[in-house]
Structures are given as structure tokens and as C-alpha cells.
Chain A
């Protein structure tokens, strides 16, 4: 199927929507029929001048409050409540009880306005045609919990606060390269230095929560950690702050001045932390002690057994998180200028295409899905899986020991007396590392068995997660150093756009001693074709062309076995049977907390 053909069809359809001959819904349905998912379809319409749909409103309660207490369980409780310092999603989730962004991502990848009055669009001119600025109109009836009005000054302040390097805000990546100006009391303009196709980053979603200027302006920069409000949030959200014990509890009570009618439904919220994922699942699915449990990283078999308790259900949400095997492009066993896996080296055996391809054929993804991950890890041939518009259709997740053997035979890799293949004195022996985590060790075992039958010897290594994922420059076992041949872990995709996500394959991001291994390109792949695609995609305003570029990037890294994707990891949450809550994999679990309610 030619890309141009597809493109032409698409443009025709968009025209039909514009002229009203095709409903938005019909458009999205047709898109999904050809394998393009809703988030992409909707962004397509935005860029082509068709307004984005409001998220479907299914909220039923007709008055505020009266729902009693909402009890939610985060098995790792929030440890701080300033969204600009949130080290993990748990902290963002906790901050989100009180703070809100201008807009949030719903499960389908649509933007839903929160503090914004509407979503910027090309039609009303709030989205610049040159892709270099966005105008946000703010709601005018929003009050901070202490009664002060929320205005454009607050929005501008959050930009100043976050971009200041002295603040050391973890959100700074979304703010440091933009300019924000106040247009009037309730309007701000975000200016980009370059053409920016993905404009919905600053002030949106997980890193977009707005903190009040009047309480933080004295504590910006180096003094940021002294702000008393860091521990006692004053936000705009549906619940007022009541209590916070790091790691244990975040408690809130109903905000009777919330700007949306009839919301929130619950009179109070209690977010309990601590414990482990299995018992969290049990408290929701089996005993019903709690209404909601976050991030149930539990084997599907156990989840299914607990679900039989009948008190709750597991809900999966789309994400881009991918469990994958990285193939080292450099030589991890030779030290050059004080570092192994140096760019000045090439891997002695993995540099050969047939060896990498054989390895990819030896990963039995379907068995891994079936026997290990179940619903929580569908097998995939792609690195870039979601939103679906970026998913390649031309990759294969074939598992074939015979093919791998034939391929290696043909290339002259001969089995030695020990059964291990070798060529020119170089043996196919690899060290394959991952973090200590039961599903990962099981996956390692499955791959090792298959590899053995193809004459490849895999030495399995597992490292404690806290060491493996650390940035400790003194430790040789970190994933960033990658001092072995193969390694496996999950990379997360934090927004419904692959720009940042796919940066991990561009040359300038390579992890080396010079950047203290903080570069994100861990495989150390250097391919001019990938670099060019990444650069071009950044400035491409045509969403169809842009999506095609990311699909091409995916194909380059997958078909060349820079990485071997294994399973993609949807979000998993446990919900009480009567709880109605929208969970989005593109935003925090609590992104739509104001609309949670119980039925019956």
C-alpha cells in the first residue's frame, strides 16, 4: 500500500468532515478501520481546521457531594505534592487531587479542557497556522482553594517557575524552550522558537498542573524547597487539602466552590499508600475494602483469580510503554578511554545483521504473552505501539528456531563441540541482563531456551532494580552503562506523541562517559537515516506525513534489530464494581477525578 495513496484518501475524508458530509464519529470509525486510532484521527482534524470533539460527558449525579468517602489505594504513596517536583507518577497522581492543568488527555487521546475554557483550534485562530504559537483561553470562574481568583498571571508564573534552572523542576523540559505571555486577564499565548506540531505539552496533562502564583512567587528558584505550600497544596481541583503524610496518606475534602456544576460527587477522598501490588489488588477486587487501586503490576493469572471475588474489576488503558530487548551496537567487553560500550568500538558479533535477526526470531513473544503477562502484556513486533496511528503494519513478530538456524548456517556460523556457534574464532555467547522482577526472569528463561536450540549461548544476569535503574556513575550494572550484550526493560511513553519517545534512537542522545551516561540513546545506535527522520518530524506540521515518519523510524530500529520489542504494557487499574471513573493511559490516573462517581 503506497503511503501517498493513503494520504490522498485521508485528505478527502477530512474535507468531507469539514463540509459536514461525514460526522466526526464516522471519520474516526473509518480511520480505525484502516488502522488509525482515535487520538491521531482527532489531532488530524484539529490540524486540518476541524474543531476537536469535547470528551463524551457521561456524568450522572445531579448534585454536588453526598457520595461519602472515596477510598483509593496507591501501593507506592505520593511522597511530595508539588507537581513541579514530582519524581514519579505517584506524586503527580497525588498532586492532581488539588492541582489541575489547562487541559488533560482522555483515554482516546482527545484533549479535555480543565482550567482552559476551550481547546485551541485552527478555526478560531487560537492555533497559529505557522505552528509557532498557541493561545489558551482560560475559564473565568475558577477560584483557588483560598478564594483568590485564578488568572493568566498564574499560568505565566508556572512557566517562569519551571524554566528557572535554580528551581530544578522536573517539569522544566516542557517549559524551558518556550515563551509565555499574558494577552489579557484570562488569555495566555505560548510561543515556540520552532515550528511545533505537538503543541499540547506545556500546561497540559501530567506536567501541566498549575500552582498558585500568590503562594509560590516568593519561593521560586533556589528557595523553592522552603515553600510551605509544597506540603499543603492550595489548588483549583475538586478536593481541598486536608492531610498529607508522605508515603502513607493524602486526604482531601470536598471543594464546595468547584467550578463545574454537581461535582465532585464524593464528600472526601483518602489516598492510602504503602504495601504491595497484590494486596492492593486484593483490597479492591476481592474484599472491596477500597474503591480503586493504582498500577496493578501483578501477573494476570492472579488478577483473574482475585476478580472472581466479585467486588471489583481490572481496567486496562492504552499506553505506549514497551518491554523490549536492547541490542548493544558497541563492544561492552573492550575498554576504550575508560569506558566500555564505547562509541569507538563495534560489537564483535552483534554487528552482523544475521545474528541480530536470528535473535529476534528466537524471542517467542506469543508464549511470553500467554504464559507470563496475559492481558497486561500483549505481544508486539513494534517499539512504537500507541497511539495506534503510529503503529507500523509491516513488522513481524515471527518466532522460528528453524529459520534462525538456517540463517546462521547460511552465514557460516558453525556449531562447535559445545554446541555453540562460532565464526572466525568469535563465539555467539551473550550476556543478557535485566532487573530483578519475576516476569522478566521468566522471559529471560524462555529466550535462553530458544537461543540454545539455535546454538546461541545466553548468560542470564539480573540486577536489583534500584541499582539497574540508577544513574550512579560509579556502578557498572546500570542500564545506562549497558556493559553487556543484551538487556531488557520497559521504556515508558509519557504523552500521546512519539517525538520525545523516539529521541532515544538519535545520535546526539547517545549515552557516554562524557555525559555521565545520561544520554537516552542506550543502544548507542547511530544511523543518519533515523537522525534525519527525527529532525524532519519535529518541524512537520502535516500530521499524516509526520506519523509516517515515526512509523518509518520504528521500522528502522525494529527491522534492523536495534531493539527487539517483546510485549507492550497497558495501564492496569482496579476499580470497585460500582465506581465509574475514566482512566487514561496518556495522563494521570486522577486526571478526571472531578467526574468520578458511584452507581447504585
Chain B
């Protein structure tokens, strides 16, 4: 990987992000809806107010003009102003970010912690009972949509057993252990729902990746040299097999920012995902634009990181 290559890839990001921003902006501008629609149905609000607000927030300007405004502002680090909350968009996002990072981050960790050992073990004993069970569960895990598992969890753990709360509160009073315990208790369901969903797919990915490697000649050679099975597995098989898994995980990381739309809604987790949904429903375009654009940036950047990682992990691959 030469420095020229890296800088070339970085430069290419700029037109890509430009294109994405134009596309997103045009799409949002073309979408029907009005952030002040609630005022329209309220007889007590004179229509002039609504029209004045539209003008004040520049909603009546032509699209290209609005895009240029947005571009100039974003170049100065100004993410815009929410129509609905009348506060800066970056403040709104930063308020929601910690919760999303904690909940989605935890679910990713759960997914990885479950998927790695299960996937590797399943691959070392293909078609054993363990493999069959793991495979079936993984299949169930990623086939069931989160809105379904989420509701089942609520029915079982909140309503039948009354163990866990199903309303997530980001702002739990108190401190110390009770505070931490409350947080853990309310996070269990959303984290498990997301973790199982992502873990299911990951198990199958790890398993097939390990299966590919375990049959290779160099593994047989390692075994015949008399290296212990455990060492063969960890040093030789898993290390090679995990290269594609690492890239897959790198590609999933932007989701840690953009949140989980459905799960956040079900458990009222005040993360980026629920902010995005609420903003879409309220036609709060500056917020929608900011969240989707940041997600787009992250996806592009993490793609790049995955490429670089791949090259540095796998010496057979070289970019020029």
C-alpha cells in the first residue's frame, strides 16, 4: 500500500460525498410533506403564521438555492437548524449519540462475543449436534425481524415475568451501583434483540470462513508437524479465517452511529435511530439530512478502512 494509493483513495472520497449529498438533498426536497403541517390543521393558528415560518426557514426557496445554503453552512461546520425543535442539529444529534453508542455498541459486542466462539466451534465439528443446533439458532436469529423478537421479549420478560422494564430511560437518576444496575436492566432487552439478530448472521459467516480455511493444506501440514489442535486452531486457522470477518465488522460499524430504527422505537431508546424516525415523520429535513449524511460519510470511510485493514491483515493483497 503506497502513500500515493492512500492519498488517491482519500481524494476520491470528495466527489463521492458530493454526489451523495446532492442525491440526499434532492430526494428529501422531492419528498412530500411540510414541517408545519400540524399548524395547518389547527384553526387557532392563522395561516399567515405558517406561511411566515415557511419563508423564515427558507422552505419556499428553489431547491438549488437551498442546497447551496446547506453546502456553504456545512463547509463552516454548521449542520443546520431543526424546524421542529428550533435548535442546532448538531446539539440534537450529540444528545442522542451516547445512548446509541452504548446500546448498539453493546449489541455489536454481544454479537461478536457469541458469534466468534460458536462459529469456530461449529466449523471444527461440522454436522455435529452442536453445529446443527448452532446453525438452526443462527438461522432463526437472523430470519426473525427485530420488531417481532422485540415484542416477544416484551411479552415474556416485561408482561408475563415482570423482570425487565420495556421503556428505556436515558436519564436515570441516582449514581453508583443501583444506577448502573438500572441501566443494565433496561438495556438487556434491546441489546439482546439486536445482538441476536446480528450475531445470527455473523455465526454463519464465521463458520463458513473457518470451514474454508480448515481444509487447506497448510493446516494439515501444521497438524502433521505435531502442533497441538488448540494451537493449530488459534494460531493458524482462526487468524486467517478472521480476515474477511474483520472487514465485515468494520462495514457494520457505521450502524453504531446511525442506530437501529425499529428496535429503538419499540423500546423507546432515545438514540439516533428514533431521532431519525421522529424527524422523518415531522418532515424535519435538516435533521434527516444531517443524520443520513453523517451515516453516508461513515459508510464511505469505513469501507475505506476495511480496504486498508484487509491489505494490512492479508499480505497476499496489495494495492497500488
Is B266 in contact with A279, judged by CB distance below 8 angstroms?
Answer: yes
CB distance from A374 to the nearest CB of B (A): 23
Contacts of A88 in B (CB 8 A): 38
Does A419 sit at the interface, judged by CB under 8 A? no
Given contacts A272-B167, A275-B167, A500-B43, contact A85 B162 (CB under 8 A): no
Given contacts A172-B46, A173-B44, A466-B33, contact A245 B270 (CB under 8 A): yes
Does B37 sit at the interface, judged by CB under 8 A? yes
Is A469 in contact with B40, judged by CB distance below 8 angstroms?
Answer: yes
The CA of A503 and the CA of B281, in the complex, are separated in Å by 29
Type the 1/0 row for A430-471, where 1 means its CB is closer than 8 Å to any CB of B. Answer: 000000000000000000000000000000000010110111
Most chain A CB inside 10 Å of its own CB: which residue of B48, B82, B92: B48
Contacts of B34 in A (CB 8 A): 470-472
Is A168 in contact with B268, judged by CB distance below 8 angstroms?
Answer: no
Type the 1/0 row for B139-167, where 1 means its CB is closer than 8 Å to any CB of A. Answer: 00000000000000010001100100111
Query: Which residue on B lies nearest to A494, using beta carbons?
Result: B44
Is B170 in contact with A249, judged by CB distance below 8 angstroms?
Answer: yes
Is B86 in contact with A249, judged by CB distance below 8 angstroms?
Answer: no
Is A503 in contact with B84, judged by CB distance below 8 angstroms?
Answer: no
The CA of A176 and the CA of B171, in the complex, are separated in Å by 40
The CA of A275 and the CA of B47, in the complex, are separated in Å by 30
Given contacts A246-B92, A247-B85, contact A275 B32 (CB under 8 A): no
Does B51 sit at the interface, judged by CB under 8 A? yes
Pick the contact of A469 from B41, B48, B82, B92 — CB < 8 Å? B41
Query: Which residue on A lies nearest to B46, using beta carbons?
Result: A173
Query: Which residue on B lies nearest to A88, using beta carbons?
Result: B38
Interface residues of B in 58-86 (CB under 8 A from A): 81-82, 84-86
Contacts of A520 in B (CB 8 A): 43, 47
The CA of A273 and the CA of B270, in the complex, are separated in Å by 9
CB distance from A145 to the nearest CB of B (A): 20
Contacts of A342 in B (CB 8 A): none
Is B50 in contact with A518, judged by CB distance below 8 angstroms?
Answer: yes
Given contacts A80-B86, A168-B56, A272-B167, contact A471 B40 (CB under 8 A): yes
Does A501 sit at the interface, judged by CB under 8 A? yes
Pick the contact of B86 from A165, A230, A516, A519 — CB < 8 Å? A230
Query: Which residue on A lies nearest to B158, using beta carbons?
Result: A287
CB distance from B230 to the nearest CB of A (A): 48
Contacts of A173 in B (CB 8 A): 44-46, 49
Is A500 in contact with B44, judged by CB distance below 8 angstroms?
Answer: yes
CB distance from B58 to the nearest CB of A (A): 13
Query: Which residue on A lies nearest to B50, using beta carbons?
Result: A471
Does A266 sit at the interface, judged by CB under 8 A? no
Is A247 in contact with B274, judged by CB distance below 8 angstroms?
Answer: yes
Is A472 in contact with B33, judged by CB distance below 8 angstroms?
Answer: yes
Pick the contact of A87 from B38, B165, B173 — CB < 8 Å? B38
CB distance from B178 to the nearest CB of A (A): 14
Is B166 in contact with A471, judged by CB distance below 8 angstroms?
Answer: no
The CA of A87 and the CA of B281, in the complex, are separated in Å by 14
Contacts of A518 in B (CB 8 A): 40, 47, 50-51
Is B167 in contact with A475, judged by CB distance below 8 angstroms?
Answer: no
Type the 1/0 row for A58-91, where 1 means its CB is closer than 8 Å to any CB of B. Answer: 0000000000010001001001101001011000
Pick the contact of A290 from B43, B53, B167, B282 — CB < 8 Å? B167
Interface residues of B in 104-132 (CB under 8 A from A): none
Contacts of B162 in A (CB 8 A): 287
Does B308 sit at the interface, judged by CB under 8 A? no
Does A225 sit at the interface, judged by CB under 8 A? yes
Is A467 in contact with B32, judged by CB distance below 8 angstroms?
Answer: yes
Is A275 in contact with B266, judged by CB distance below 8 angstroms?
Answer: yes
Does A231 sit at the interface, judged by CB under 8 A? yes
Interface residues of A in 300-341 (CB under 8 A from B): none
The CA of A464 and the CA of B33, in the complex, are separated in Å by 10
Is B32 in contact with A170, judged by CB distance below 8 angstroms?
Answer: no
The CA of A519 and the CA of B51, in the complex, are separated in Å by 12
Does A515 sit at the interface, judged by CB under 8 A? yes
Does B36 sit at the interface, judged by CB under 8 A? yes
Is A495 in contact with B44, judged by CB distance below 8 angstroms?
Answer: yes
Does B52 sit at the interface, judged by CB under 8 A? yes
Most chain B CB inside 10 Å of its own CB: which residue of A85, A276, A287: A287
Most chain A CB inside 10 Å of its own CB: which residue of B39, B81, B84, B268: B268
Type the 1/0 row for A285-296, where 1 means its CB is closer than 8 Å to any CB of B. Answer: 011011000000
Is A248 in contact with B33, judged by CB distance below 8 angstroms?
Answer: no
Does A169 sit at the interface, judged by CB under 8 A? yes
Does B87 sit at the interface, judged by CB under 8 A? yes
Query: Which residue on B lies nearest to A472, using beta carbons?
Result: B34
Interface residues of B (CB under 8 A from A): 32-34, 36-53, 56, 81-82, 84-87, 92, 95-96, 154, 158-159, 162, 165-167, 169-171, 173, 265-266, 268, 270, 274-275, 278, 281-283
Closest 3 CB pairs of A and B: A518-B47, A248-B270, A246-B85
A464-B32, A494-B42, A518-B50 known; 11 new pairs, CB 8 Å cut-off, are A79-B82, A248-B274, A270-B171, A275-B265, A279-B268, A466-B37, A466-B281, A474-B32, A492-B41, A495-B44, A518-B47
Q: Could you name 15 residue pairs across A and B whose Cβ atoms are closer than 8 Å?
A: A170-B49, A230-B87, A243-B171, A245-B170, A245-B171, A247-B270, A248-B270, A249-B270, A251-B171, A268-B173, A287-B166, A470-B283, A474-B32, A493-B43, A518-B51
